[in-house]
Amino acid sequence: MTLSALVDQIHQKESFLCIGLDPDPDKLPSHLDGSVESTYTFLKEIIESTKDLCVAYKPNLAFFEAFGSEGWELYEKILSLIPSEHFVIADAKRGDIGNTSKKYASAFFGHPNCDALTIAPYMGSDSVQPFLGNKEKWVILLGLTSNPGSEDFQMKKLANGRYVYEEVLYTAKEWGSPEELMFVIGATHPESFRNIRAILPDHFFLVPGVGAQGGSLAAVCEYGMNDQVGLLVNSSRGILYASKGEDFAEAARAKAKEMQAEMSGIMRGV
């Protein structure tokens, strides 16, 4: 998907909502048994009930891989359910030496097909470059993550006065254009968004941490939006597991609608 196509979808739907697909058998509604078949049913109904309210879906590969070979088949089936106008992010956090990264790029950008892949930058540019330069495909690089452990390394100060995450952003923004490179910036660090947007004025951010992790959508938007919106705000648990009953799809839709309505108000300046 091109940048212009993504921005068009955001404005058409007045939404920059990304829904994370993290199918945890232990959290599925009580009438579903956690099998591959019931997980497919669960995700199918989630997608059908929310597809008009979001612009992106983010399957988390760990929850599929946990099923073994059946999980990869499930992942491919779920991709086929997502309408073509949606931006599809494979949340796999890959990143390895160059020849291995080339194979990962072939796997995720070839078959099955997705629009973007999350990548860990720790091993440097040669581990990221194989994912770049694929037509209408995106790298989403970990920048400042939403988990408590982000304090361990990302928030450490370097001798040059920058935090480690800032050094990652300054360095990595030279690797790819805003039309192929996004960054993960966690909503649990709202105070950092102003500075991060100054470093990356034109890049899109994938923003986890709103909802179940306590991040504020209003704070993220105040400091993180740019003239193209520039944000894909992800919600996983807060939408997927809004109800443990048979009304789970309706409850998920209600939560997604609540977020979309807030996003619409922000975009309209209400």
Backbone angles phi, psi at 99, to 5 degrees: -70, -30
Distances (CA, A) of 169 to 82, 124, 173, 214, 239: 31, 12, 6, 24, 30
Backbone angles phi, psi at 122, to 5 degrees: -55, -35
Q: Which is the catalytic residue, given 44, 77, 93, 102? A: 93
Retrieve residue 79's tokens.
């991709």
- Residue 255 appears among annotated catalytic residues: no
**What is the C-alpha end-to-end distance of the chain, expressed in Å?**
30
Q: Is the peptide bond before 201 cis (omega within 30 degrees of 0)?
A: no
Can you tell me which residue has the tokens 């920059």? 16
CA distance 42 to 36: 10
Collect all residues with Cβ–Cβ distance below 8 Å to 117 and sequence separation of at least 6: 89, 90, 92, 94, 104, 105, 108, 109, 131, 137, 138, 139, 140
CB 64 within 8 A of CB 75: yes
Residues with catalytic function: 93
